[in-house]
Amino acid sequence: MFLHLPLSLYRSLLCPLARWRRRKSWLLVATLAALFSAHFSTAAEENGALTELTLGQLSDRALTPLGQAALGIRAGEWKHAETVNFVYHFFHGFIAAPVSVEAEFYYRVIARELEKDTTQWERKCHIYIFEGAEDWAEFQKRGALDPWTGGIHAAGSLFIQRDPQVKWKGSTLGHEITHLVVERFFGAGVPLWLNEGYAENSAVRCYAAFNRARGYAARPTSRGVPAGLYLPVGQLTALLAYPQDVAQVHVFYDESERLVRFLSGADKRGFGALLEALAKDARFDTALAKGFGSRFMNLEALEREFRSYAIHENVPD
């Protein structure tokens, strides 16, 4: 049987053979074994190979009440594994493996973008991966989640859906991982619009970058806000809860993402200063002055520039 390997690996195998053809056979065998091992270990890591563990073998076994509720659905069928920063609970390894690759990728990108060091964190985040719609509906019921919830970050754990029959998985995982990283770095005081807006913006950018790295022509997308549903910045940034109307929820997410995109595009360091200030319970106008005092003298100045940006269908990446 002919073994299909990359050309670079064949070359790396032939060189030692030519160079050491007169040496003892055991040295050739050892060299070949090392080369094959290195190649397949790298390939396995890139493909997200996971070693299944029992719940008791996990390095971090702290389950939140919501996590316990999740594992109570089809109890006994869950499998478990872990990577550097995450613990995974899942039903099928071929679903969890790609999730593990994406999760570590998004985690590194977001942390690097925020210029934060994660090496001192001792706890791992738990990711619960549901597959079927019925199981997710049961979880929504047990967790008292909003009916439009497609994924959630709660108390350091992530709960997501991954339909095996859908090729393009979307940005939900990146969105929830952004919530995780933001909470770990800035605490739970980040305002609702900023928390969701940054998660949306980061998720679409990370998802596009992840697919570009795999050869796809992917670009981040951003939805414009219908002019008749636009919320003035003062109202948007003062919201403490999600809108009651499901249609307005989508507008809230879209406009929040546009505001984050607008501010971070105007001045990345200024946006960082605004994020730091708002996480420490500063008023929006105070945080705006700290991050963008030279650009926007007041809220009205920001409103004048942002409204047209928010309702425009297409904006630059």
Structure tokens at 240: 């403490």
- What CATH number has the domain bearing residue 222? 1.10.390
In sequence order, the 6+-apart residues with CB closer than 8 A to the CB of 103 are: 83, 85, 86, 127, 173, 177
In sequence order, the 6+-apart residues with CB closer than 8 A to the CB of 191 are: 237, 278, 284
Are residues 81 and 110 both part of a single domain?
yes
Are residues 113 and 208 both part of a single domain?
no
Domain count, the chain: 2
Are residues 129 and 241 both part of a single domain?
no
Structure tokens at 124: 């791992």
Query: What confidence tens digit (pLDDT) does each residue in 158-169 have?
Result: 999 998 877 767
Are residues 199 and 304 both part of a single domain?
yes
In a domain, 27, yes or no: no
Q: Of 259, 265, 267, whose CA–CA distance to 307 is shortest? A: 259
In a domain, 163, yes or no: yes
Are residues 200 and 317 both part of a single domain?
yes
User: What's residue 216's pLDDT?
Assistant: 82
Are residues 212 and 146 both part of a single domain?
no
* CA 79 and chain centroid, separation: 22
Sheet arrangement for strand 151-154: 79-82, 86-90, 125-130, 157-161, 151-154
In a domain, 180, yes or no: yes
Query: What confidence tens digit (pLDDT) does each residue in 188-208 have?
Result: 899 999 999 999 999 999 888
Compute the average pLDDT of residues 293-305: 93
Are residues 230 and 166 both part of a single domain?
no
Q: Which of 64-73, 177-186, 241-250 has the highest mean pLDDT?
A: 64-73
User: How far apart, in Å, are the Cα atoms of 44 and each of 37, 39, 48, 100?
Assistant: 10, 9, 6, 12
- Using the Cα atoms of residue 279, residue 283, residue 284 and residue 288 in order, give the sign of their dihedral: negative
User: What's residue 219's pLDDT?
Assistant: 84
At 22, the amino acid letter reads R
Report the C-alpha gap between 72 and 77 in whole angstroms: 10
In sequence order, the 6+-apart residues with CB closer than 8 A to the CB of 226 are: 251, 311
Are residues 178 and 218 both part of a single domain?
no
Query: What confidence tens digit (pLDDT) does each residue in 209-252 have?
Result: 888 888 888 788 888 999 999 999 999 999 999 998 888 999 99
In a domain, 34, yes or no: no
In a domain, 290, yes or no: yes
Torsion angle of C-alpha atoms 204, 206, 210, 211, degrees rounded to 10: 20
User: What's residue 25's pLDDT?
Assistant: 39
Give the max Cα distance, the chain. 81
Q: Could you say which of 188, 218, 252 is where a domain stops?
A: 188
Are residues 182 and 68 both part of a single domain?
yes
Are residues 178 and 269 both part of a single domain?
no
pTM to 2 decimal places: 0.77
Q: Could you say which of 149, 169, 188 is where a domain stops?
A: 188
Q: Could you say which of 130, 156, 188 is where a domain stops?
A: 188
Q: Can you give the C-alpha Rg of the chain in angstroms?
A: 24
Share of the chain above pLDDT 70, in %: 83
Query: What confidence tens digit (pLDDT) does each residue in 2-16 have?
Result: 333 343 433 443 344
Domain carrying residue 216: 190-317
Report the C-alpha gap between 129 and 56 in whole angstroms: 19
Other Cβ atoms closer than 10 A to 47:
12
Structure tokens at 273: 């200063």
Unique residue bearing structure tokens 């996990």: 58
Q: Are 264 and 194 in contact (CB under 8 A)?
A: no
Query: What confidence tens digit (pLDDT) does each residue in 94-147 have?
Result: 999 999 999 999 999 998 888 887 776 778 999 999 998 999 999 999 998 888
Are residues 118 and 194 both part of a single domain?
no
- What CATH number has the domain bearing residue 118? 3.40.30.160
